[in-house]
Structure formats: C-alpha cells, structure tokens
C-alpha cells in the first residue's frame, strides 16, 4: 500500500473556507490515500479536513488583530511545529497572507513543499512582499488573470486558476426563484445589504448602511431590505444596530444564504471584499463601501498603488462599480448611489459583469488540485 499523504491546509476566513472545500474534494478524488490537517471552517471540515483550530480564530480585522495578536501568534507557532512533526507532504495556505506566508516560509525552509492559494495583492500594495513570497512558496495559485503576469516578472511560479465561484454560479440567476427559496414575496423592490463577513466590519458599517436605507425609504416607499449575516453572533450585532438606526425599515435578515439574498435583490449595498465578486457573478448592480480607521487609512495611503478596491473594478477596465470609501462613505452618498442603480436598467454594467464572469471560468477547483499535485510530484 502506498504511504498515506498528509496535506496541511490553513484558511483564514469564510471565503478561504469555500475555496478550501472545493480543493480538498478535488484532491481527495485524485489521491486515494490522503488526509488533511490544519485550520478551516464548516465547509472544509465537511470536505475532509481534520481541524486543529476553527477558522474564526484567524478571521479578525483592524484593532481586533491587536487585541488577539498574542493568541494568533501562538496558533501560528503551534501550526508550524505540528506541521513539521506530522512530516506533512505539502502545505497549502489559502489567503490570510500575514499568517500563512510566515508559516510557508518556515515550512519551506525545512524542506516541505508549499503552495499559496489566492495571491496576496502585491500588485496593489506592499510590493516588497514579493521577495518573501519567492522565498516561501513553490507555487502561487492566482484567482485573477492579470496576477500571473506580475509573478512572471519576478520568476515566481504561478498559475491562473480562475475562481471557483465563477464555476459554481450560473451566468443567469433567476430573481423570482431566489425570492421563493427565501420565502419572500415574488413582487417588490429589494435591496440586499451586506455589512461584511468579519465581526468588526458588521459593527462599524451596519449603522452607516442602515442610515442610508432610512434615506432611501423616503424615495422608495415599498423598498424591502434583506440582509445575510455569517453567523448568529454577527446577526446579534446587526439586530442591535437595527434597534438604534432601522426600526422603521422593512428588514428581513438571514444567517447564511448570501448568494440567494443577492440573487433575490434588485441592487446590493455591500462592504468591499469577496462578496463584491459574488455580486458581480450573480449579475446584480452594486455599491461598494468601506471605512478604515484614521490610522489604518494613513498607512494604506502610503502603501496602496491602485485607485480602486473592489474586485469587479479590478477586472473590468471601465471600473463601472461605484466605490464610496473613507470620507465618501456617508449615509447620504451611499443612498444617492443606490438610488441611481434602482432607477436604471443597468444593462451596460450587467454586460460588463458577464464578460468578466467568462474570464474567470477555468474549472478552478480542478486546475488548483492538478497544480498542487504537480508540486507534490516535483523533484526540486
């Protein structure tokens, strides 16, 4: 019998858990004797991961990182130690570059092969990280088409694998069917509101988004607000914000179901992040918002090399998605931008979304798995 393979895999948040689940399923289909250990969420666990820690331990942002830094560093040291003791055959870090690149560098230096899935945004900011990536990984799996060109310039092996969401989400998404799945009225005007996938985002953005909805309600009397939250903790935080800023609104909230909620909507108001790509693939016009602390903004302005932040605008040359960031992220400006979408057929925007969707159709799970196996079988 062949020696069982052990693959270490770490995802840092919900979007990484989704990618990891598909990758684990494809690797298990191709490798008869393989086990997976590391960090992931419910989907990766269902696919076959034996978790050492839950993904929530790493899914923090902003000042949360400072308060939990000691715990995160302890987990990282433990992951490195245990991966070495397990004599794993391959390590796959999914996103979370501040955590995973150090893990990858330490493991790579000890002779363990490493793959980083989801390119850090080195083409956008902190470009000197490319040298750490070059030391730390055998291969980078890129989600976006222009990322491979950047790695080629620095002789870092990279493959554009597309995005698993582009493979899973159909080109046409039936609005009425999504409403029936969520037990919503088939008729009416719906705005999907997504204040983020991290707890800190939900705390900071929910009041702003709800105030914008209050303004919109004056012009769109029958507007209904539908809100997916990642878990019960975040739903509790959002419900508290509703008591202060949205009691008069017609709000229906869900735990999970973000894809169905966006498909059921006429427009989407959301935090910058992976959900913007999901909204684009579903084919719903959106307004993207985000607000960093003043200190974080000062740091970001010195390091960021691009003038847009949402994934649709990075993919589409015309940059069609409204982005309201920092001082522009006000209830009044958010409401005005959403109002324009609700009053338009948005056909040019939706055509651009479909073209970008086609770019990302690569059978990502299969291509990522094949690339990981090639790294496993490589001699260097």
Cα separation of 174 and 160, whole Å?
29
Q: Is 142 left (phi over 0), alpha (psi -120 to 50) or beta?
A: beta
Q: For the chain, which domains are there?
A: 5-162+362-377 (3.40.50.2000), 175-360 (3.40.50.2000)
Residue 187: band (very low, low, confident or very high) from pLDDT cuts 50, 70, 90: confident
Cα separation of 81 and 173, whole Å?
46
| pLDDT greater than 90 at residue 236 | yes
Please name the residue ranges forming H helices in 41-157. Answer: 42-47, 63-67, 69-85, 97-109, 129-136, 147-153
State the DSSP code for 146.
Answer: T
| pLDDT greater than 80 at residue 307 | no
Among the listed ranges 51-60, 201-210, 277-286, 301-310, which one has the minimum average pLDDT value?
301-310
Q: Is 88 helix (H, G, I), strand (E, B) or coil?
A: coil
pLDDT given for residue 198 in this prediction: 82
Residues 52, 55, 22, CA angle at the centre, nearest 5°?
A: 95
| pLDDT greater than 90 at residue 308 | no
Residue 217: band (very low, low, confident or very high) from pLDDT cuts 50, 70, 90: very high
Cα separation of 287 and 294, whole Å?
22
pLDDT average, residue stretch 214-227: 95
- Long-range contacts, 45-50 (Cβ 8 Å, 24+): 46/21, 47/20, 47/21, 47/22, 48/24, 49/9, 49/20, 49/24
Cα separation of 178 and 260, whole Å?
5
Say which residue, 92 or 1, is predicted with more confidence: 92
Distances (CA, A) of 326 to 157, 181, 308, 311: 36, 36, 13, 18
Note the pLDDT tens digit of each residue in 30-77.
998 999 999 999 999 999 999 999 888 887 655 556 678 889 999 999
Note the pLDDT tens digit of each residue in 261-299.
999 999 999 998 889 999 999 999 999 998 754 544 444
Nearest to 117 by CA among 24, 256, 196, 6: 24
Cross-strand bridge partners of residue 216 = none
Note the pLDDT tens digit of each residue in 88-131.
999 999 998 989 999 999 999 999 999 999 998 765 556 778 99
| pLDDT greater than 50 at residue 245 | yes
The share of the chain scoring above pLDDT 90, in percent, equals: 73
Say which residue, 299 or 145, is predicted with more confidence: 145
Q: Mean pLDDT of all residues in the chain?
A: 90
**Sign of the torsion formed by the C-alpha atoms of 86, 89, 92 and 97:** positive
pLDDT given for residue 293 in this prediction: 47
pLDDT given for residue 291 in this prediction: 74
Among the listed ranges 21-25, 43-47, 127-131, 232-236, which one has the minimum average pLDDT value?
127-131
**Sign of the torsion formed by the C-alpha atoms of 53, 59, 61 and 64:** negative
147, 350 Cβ separation under 8 angstroms: no
Token pair 């196996």 is found at 373
pLDDT average, residue stretch 125-145: 89
Q: CA torsion angle for 269, 272, 274, 279 (degrees, to 10)?
A: 30
The number of residues making up the chain comes to 380
Among the listed ranges 40-44, 81-85, 308-312, which one has the minimum average pLDDT value?
308-312
Terminus-to-terminus CA distance in the chain, angstroms?
A: 25
| pLDDT greater than 60 at residue 137 | yes
């Amino acid at each position: 019998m062949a020696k069982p393979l052990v693959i270490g895999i770490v995802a840092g948040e919900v979007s990484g858990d989704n990618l990891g689940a598909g990758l684990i399923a494809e690797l298990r289909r191709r490798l008869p004797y393989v086990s997976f250990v590391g960090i992931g969420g419910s989907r990766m666990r269902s696919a076959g991961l034996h978790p050492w820690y839950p993904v929530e331990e790493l899914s923090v942002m902003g000042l949360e990182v400072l308060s939990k830094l000691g715990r995160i560093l302890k987990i990282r040291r433990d992951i490195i130690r245990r991966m070495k003791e397990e004599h794993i055959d391959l390590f796959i870090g999914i996103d979370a570059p501040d955590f995973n690149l150090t893990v990858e560098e330490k493991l790579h230096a000890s002779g363990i092969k490493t793959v980083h899935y989801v390119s850090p945004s080195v083409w956008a900011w902190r470009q000197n990280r490319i040298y750490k990536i070059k030391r730390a990984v055998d291969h980078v799996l890129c989600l976006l088409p222009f990322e491979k060109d950047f790695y080629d310039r620095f002789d870092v092996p990279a493959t554009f694998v597309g995005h698993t969401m582009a493979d899973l989400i159909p080109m046409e998404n039936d609005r009425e069917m999504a409403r029936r799945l969520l037990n919503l009225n088939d008729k009416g005007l719906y705005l999907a509101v997504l204040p983020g996938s991290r707890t800190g985002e939900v705390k900071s953005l929910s009041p702003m988004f709800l105030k914008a909805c209050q303004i919109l309600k004056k012009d769109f009397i029958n507007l209904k607000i539908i809100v997916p939250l990642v878990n019960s903790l975040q739903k509790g935080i959002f419900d508290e914000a509703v008591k202060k800023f949205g009691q008069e609104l017609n709000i229906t909230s869900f735990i999970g179901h973000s894809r169905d909620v966006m498909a059921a909507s006429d427009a989407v108001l959301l935090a910058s992040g992976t959900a913007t790509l999901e909204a684009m693939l579903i084919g719903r016009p959106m307004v993207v918002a985000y607000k960093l602390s003043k200190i974080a903004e000062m740091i970001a302005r010195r390091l960021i090399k691009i003038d847009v932040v949402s994934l649709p605008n990075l993919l589409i040359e015309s940059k069609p998605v409204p982005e309201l960031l920092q001082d522009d992220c006000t209830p009044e400006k958010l409401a005005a931008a959403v109002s324009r979408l609700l009053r338009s057929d948005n056909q040019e925007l939706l055509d651009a979304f479909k073209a970008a969707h086609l770019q990302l159709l690569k059978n990502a799970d299969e291509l990522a798995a094949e690339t990981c196996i090639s790294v496993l079988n490589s001699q260097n």
